Amino acid sequence: MSQTISILDGNAFVVSDLRGDIEATPADTTGLFLNDTRFLSRWVLTVDGRRPNVLSTDTLHYFRAQFYTTLSTGTIYVDSDMSLVRRRAVGDGFMEEMIIANHGKEPKTLQVRIEAGSDFADLFEVKDKLAKKGELYRRVDADKLVLGYRRERFVRETWIKSSAPAALEEGALNFTVEIPPQEIWRTTIEVMAVINPARQTRPRVKYTPEDIEPRPELGESLEAWMASAPRLNASWEPIGQTYRQSLLDLAALRFRSPLNPDPVPAAGLPWFMSLFGRDSLITSFQAIPFAPELAASTLRLLALFHGRVDDPFRDEEPGKILHELRLGEMTAFEERPHSPYFGSADATPLFLILLEEYERWSGDRKLAAALEREARGAIDWIDHFGDRDGDGYVEYERRNKETGLENQCWKDSWDSIAFADGTLAPLPRATCEIQGYVYDAKMRTARLARDVWDDPAWADELENEAKALKERFNRDFWIPERGFFALALDGQKRKVDSLTSNIGHLLWSGIAEEDKADQCVRHLMGDALFSGWGVRTMARGEGSFNPIGYHVGTVWPHDNSIIAWGLRRYGYKAEAARLSLGILEAAVFFRYRLPEAFAGYPREMTQFPVEYPTACSPQAWATGAPLLLIRTLLGLESDGRHLIVDPAIPAPIERLELLDVPGRWGRMDAFGRARLAAAA
């Protein structure tokens, strides 16, 4: 049974098959996960030795699921007089209610068995197919089954208890069930993921067994979260469905820890249910007109972890913003540097971009004032550690050669930075979009310095540095014979001449000169880059192009949302609307939940967007993409005082309304009607 269903709540999630069973292999992500550790890798239900057959599976909310099954033989008829329902809710573990109904005329006596096991795999061990180094153990402890793992002082356990009497053995719960005719039998099973067994007595999340609904400590309920977001009305129904799914998925991806009382977005299920600098920053930017509180909590948490020392193992440097924070075994034993890991060259300027955007949108001068020291540290990192050789550009090269990331830009797969002939660019690499982020960060920080921190001299200095960077960049990165900006400068200062979606980020940041921007737009919307659904990460015809290559030909919704906003910045409203509509139309084929990426095949060839096999879903910045696209269509902007609305709505949307948009103005409404022809 290859299909899976996922439920999640913060940084805990359960992935099972459609029956509700878990049969994890060392290389898949089924199971119960919390804090980067798999606490349950086997959870298999049998009745009289038989596996139930699926009738239906429903995810009621992002944290709850129901599995309807029967003991039929699987013929054309449902030839069973019994049905089984499993209702599951995730928290710090999960609660599962099992209900067996006897629809027959005679009493039933059944042997019900649930096999339970855990490999306690670290997510890095799952990803890299690595073996455990510690000791696995099992025991029956009074009224509960205990699955455990110990490696020196690192101890994790899974506690399993049932409300109905069960015969416990190491690895299973057994029930002898007697059900009268037309009656039901039920039990509630609690599976607790225990981080510190010596001190844990009860799970942090409390459950209500009557309806198996957790009360997660997320500060506000799902209903309150949805009610606080702007209301969207549209004549084109899919955009409303996509908007609602984005809000639900953002709610699911929020997580807390003792260090962040306010929720921040995790990067994505299943591999990235943790704090990521770049992902959380971009997602928070996308969500500002809809949930500005995410930006505030993300900025606070990343400021708390900003780099303080020069540590090659973690790629940490003073003032740098982290890339990724992990809490699993391999991080605890420093077999991975993620405690936290700082291998990202773009998170630091993105931090400054989000800080200014949030202050301008929300009017929260208090937070901007509180983060002045971290902002100054980020600028200092850009000018000194980021610019490794003093040429005026931020470049990267990992210092941890064993486990660090080779590519420290958003296209962080090994083969993403390549010349037009397909050869990889030597390190260190200065990718074009990072220079754009630095330009934008300095311009935005200059405004904060002048308006919030009362330092006009520094503001002037930052603006002069940004202007010099823009002039230098347009000279050094431009490829006149091809009419677009180089993907990067390599370690020998050669222009990496592949045509990629990165040039769209230069429009978002504003670093491209007007005449060069016009040529870039023609490339972005031309057949080589634009698939009909969205802009590919790499253009057809380039040496490394692959329509199902992770960063060398697929279409990424978040990438396209940034490009669309960049097109608006330079006045290309029709192109922005066409691109936005393409991505929103693609969402329909993914049941309104955009995945991390999808294949870059031409639209006219496939007629539907082709799935990328290992894409995260939900994934934070893919979830945020429709929000930024809606902002793009309505032309929503803050001038530091008012909400500006400048719609450019394409057919078939016709009418688009966003009501109660939050900001420093309180709440305002935005309206737009189609004035553009349908996309070709």
Cα(409)–Cα(430) distance, integer angstroms: 9
pLDDT at 617: 78
Of 72, 412, 172, the C-alpha closest to 271 is: 412
Residues 396-415 have a mean pLDDT of 93
SS (H, E, C) 247-285: HHHHHHHEEEECCEEEEEECCECCCECCCEHHHHHHHHH
Q: Percent of the chain having pLDDT more than 70?
A: 94
Q: Residue 450: pLDDT above 50?
A: yes
pLDDT, tens digit, 9 for 90 and up, residues 574-618 = 999 999 999 999 999 999 999 999 999 999 999 999 988 777 778
Q: Residue 202: pLDDT above 70?
A: no
| 47 shares a domain with 160 | yes
Strand, coil or helix: 57 = strand
What are the helix (H) ranges across 478-589? Answer: 502-509, 514-524, 557-569, 573-589
Q: What is the residue range of 128's domain? A: 4-214
SS (H, E, C) 541-560: CCCCCCCCCCCCCCECHHHH
Q: Residue 152: pLDDT above 80?
A: yes
Q: 10 Å Cβ neighbour count for 146?
A: 19
Residue 228: inside a domain:
no
Cα(86)–Cα(99) distance, integer angstroms: 6
Strand pairing category for 649-650 and 643-644: unpaired
| 478 shares a domain with 334 | yes
Residue 625: inside a domain:
no
372: exposed, middle or buried (Cβ count in 10 Å: 0-12, 13-18, 19+): middle
Least confident of 247-251, 353-357, 578-582: 247-251
| 315 shares a domain with 182 | no
| 329 shares a domain with 209 | no
User: Which residue has 């799970």 as its token pair?
Assistant: 203
User: Which of 187, 214, 241 is the C-terminal boundary of a domain?
Assistant: 214
The DSSP string of 8-35 is EETTEEEEEETTS-EE--TTS--EEEET
Describe the crossing of helices 557-569 and 620-634 by its angle, rounded to 10 degrees: 30
Residue 195: inside a domain:
yes
- The b-or-e profile of 505-530 (16+ CB within 10 A means b, else e) is bbbbbbbbeeebbebbbebbbeeebb
Q: ∠ CA 285-290-291 to the nearest 5 degrees?
A: 75
pLDDT, tens digit, 9 for 90 and up, residues 275-318 = 899 999 999 999 999 999 999 999 999 999 999 999 999 999 99
Cα(597)–Cα(614) distance, integer angstroms: 9
Q: Residue 211: pLDDT above 70?
A: no
H or E segment at 246? helix 237-253
Residues 489-508 have a mean pLDDT of 98
Which pair of tokens denotes residue 361? 């949108």
Q: Residue 435: pLDDT above 70?
A: yes
Residues 631-640 have a mean pLDDT of 96
72: exposed, middle or buried (Cβ count in 10 Å: 0-12, 13-18, 19+): middle
423: exposed, middle or buried (Cβ count in 10 Å: 0-12, 13-18, 19+): exposed
**What type of residue is 633?**
L
Which pair of tokens denotes residue 251? 């709610």
Dihedral sign (CA 172, 173, 179, 182): negative
- Radius of gyration for the alpha carbons in the chain, expressed in angstroms and rounded: 26
Residue 490: inside a domain:
yes
| 185 shares a domain with 80 | yes
Strand pairing category for 108-117 and 93-102: unpaired
Residues 240-269 have a mean pLDDT of 86
| 321 shares a domain with 181 | no
pLDDT, tens digit, 9 for 90 and up, residues 556-584 = 999 999 999 999 999 999 999 999 999 99
Q: Residue 217: pLDDT above 50?
A: no
Long-range pairs for 573-577 at CB < 8 Å and ≥24 separation?
573/635, 573/648, 573/676, 574/648, 574/650, 574/676, 575/521, 575/524, 575/525, 576/632, 576/633, 576/648, 577/632, 577/633, 577/648, 577/649, 577/650, 577/676, 577/679
Straight-line distance from the first to the last Cα atom of the chain, in angstroms, rounded to the nearest whole number: 40
| 436 shares a domain with 333 | yes
Residue 655: inside a domain:
no
Q: Number of helices (H) and strands (E), helices first, in the chain?
A: 17, 32
pLDDT at 198: 80
pLDDT at 62: 84
Residue 339: inside a domain:
yes
Least confident of 120-134, 176-190, 357-371, 524-538: 120-134
165: exposed, middle or buried (Cβ count in 10 Å: 0-12, 13-18, 19+): exposed
| Residue 206 banded pLDDT, cuts 50, 70, 90 | very low
The CA dihedral of 268, 274, 277, 278, to the nearest 10 degrees, is -10
**What type of residue is 158?**
T
| 183 shares a domain with 317 | no
pLDDT at 381: 98
pLDDT at 74: 57
State which of 128-132, 202-206, 457-461, 651-655 shows the largest mean pLDDT: 457-461
Cα(249)–Cα(269) distance, integer angstroms: 10
Q: Residue 677: pLDDT above 90?
A: no
What is the pLDDT of the chain when averaged over all its residues? 92
| 41 shares a domain with 144 | yes
Q: Residue 427: pLDDT above 90?
A: yes
pLDDT, tens digit, 9 for 90 and up, residues 322-342 = 999 998 989 999 889 999 999
Phi-psi category of residue 36: left, alpha or beta, with phi > 0 → left and psi -120 to 50 → alpha: left
Q: Percent of the chain having pLDDT more than 90?
A: 78
User: Which of 182, 214, 246 is the C-terminal boundary of a domain?
Assistant: 214
| 320 shares a domain with 185 | no
User: Which of 214, 236, 261 is the C-terminal boundary of a domain?
Assistant: 214
| 132 shares a domain with 18 | yes
Given a contact cutoff of 8 angstroms between Cβ atoms, the answer to whether 134 and 150 are in contact is yes
Q: Residue 28: pLDDT above 60?
A: yes
Given a contact cutoff of 8 angstroms between Cβ atoms, the answer to whether 59 and 118 are in contact is no
| Domain tally, the chain | 2
Edge-to-edge, what's the strand order for the sheet holding 430-431?
Answer: 430-431, 488-489, 495-496
Using alpha carbons, list the distances in angstroms from residue 284 to 71, 264, 370, 376, 568: 47, 8, 19, 21, 19
Least confident of 197-206, 499-508, 528-537, 579-588: 197-206
Residue 284: inside a domain:
no
| CATH number of the domain within which 210 lies | 2.70.98.40
The DSSP string of 409-422 is SSS-STTSSB-TTS
- The b-or-e profile of 289-317 (16+ CB within 10 A means b, else e) is bbbbbbbbbbbbbbbebbbeeeeeebbbb
pTM of the model: 0.92
pLDDT at 75: 57
Cα(98)–Cα(130) distance, integer angstroms: 34
Residue 676: inside a domain:
no
Given a contact cutoff of 8 angstroms between Cβ atoms, the answer to whether 555 and 597 are in contact is yes
Which pair of tokens denotes residue 134? 């510690």
Cα(384)–Cα(389) distance, integer angstroms: 9
Given a contact cutoff of 8 angstroms between Cβ atoms, the answer to whether 150 and 135 are in contact is yes
pLDDT, tens digit, 9 for 90 and up, residues 66-93 = 999 988 765 555 567 889 999 999 888 9
Which pair of tokens denotes residue 151? 């490696």
